[in-house]
Structures are given as structure tokens and as C-alpha cells.
Amino acid sequence: MQHKLLGALLAAALAIGLAGCGGGGGSDSGGSAPISIVPAGSYGGANIGLVVTATGGTLQFPCSSSGTITSPLTLDTSGHFSATGTVLPVVAGVQPVGSTPKSYAATFSGTSDGKNVTLTVTPDPAKNLAATTYTLASGTAPAFNAVCPQ
């Protein structure tokens, strides 16, 4: 009788212990909870680098060009975001000596699952430049393969 009672108590304790594993703290190892903002960190892809912060982010493009995202990358329920900022094109050898490149307004939109970001950079329509879409991965270094003028 004692063995049966002890066995039942151990089985109950084990069941309670296993039921408590993996729960709490908002994490779910069996699936991922929806995210509301692109996680802070570094993301990289072909000809682009992105560092996301709580207030926006910074971008690296080939040939020392850069960008600044001036609003948080808040995701809607579908995982889409849209933010504003600027792009600073720098093209060595094309600008007159001593001139300073001028930044222009841009919209940064796309999607994220928390690990990957698809980012479309849409320049100010007055610039007559096409939007460009990039694919970036968290923790990946940018891969710049553009040939920059000297």
C-alpha cells in the first residue's frame, strides 16, 4: 500500500513539475508570441546594414551613404511597419570638391518577424528616385559589393 501511495505522489509531483515548465515570463518555446516592435539590434543584408534602436535606427549603404530612421519601428498586427527619416547619399568623385552632400526625406516601410526584416526605402517623391527593397537578417553583417567611384 505504501508503494502505491508513494508512486501516486511521485507521479503527481512529476506532472505538476512538468506542467510548470516552459510557461510564464511571456515566452513560449513551442511557438512565438507576436511582437509589437522590431527588436533592437544589428541586421545585415546585401548592400545594407541596419541598427535598430528603441527610437528608430541607422542605416549603412555602399560608398559611405547612410540613413536615419527617426521614429520607432512599431509593428501592426500583420507585422508591418512604416517610419520616417532621412537618407544621406555620398558619392565620392561625383560631387564637386568641397561640397557637402545633402540628406533628403525618406519613408522606411516593411515587415519583420523579429529575426528578419524586409525593408523598402522610398525616397522623397521630389527626388524622382525609385524605391528599393532589401532583405536583412538579425546578427548578420552587411555585405557591400558595390563598386564606389574614387
The model scores a pTM over 0.85: no
Supply the pLDDT for residue 31: 54
Structural contact between residues 144 and 44, judged by C-beta atoms closer than 8 angstroms: no
Mean pLDDT of 22-38: 57
DSSP letter string, the chain: -HHHHHHHHHHHHHHHHHHHTT-STT--TTS----SBPPSEEEEEBTEEEEEETTEEEEE-GGG-EEEE-S--B--TTSEEEEEEEEE---TTTSPTT-----EEEEEEEEE-SSEEEEEEEE-GGG----EEEEEEETPPPB--PPPP-
Mean pLDDT of 23-48: 73
Arithmetic mean of pLDDT over the chain: 79
Answer yes or no: is pLDDT of 29 > 60: no
Q: 73-129, pLDDT tens digit by residue? A: 999 999 999 999 999 987 655 555 666 778 999 999 999 999 999 999 999 988 888
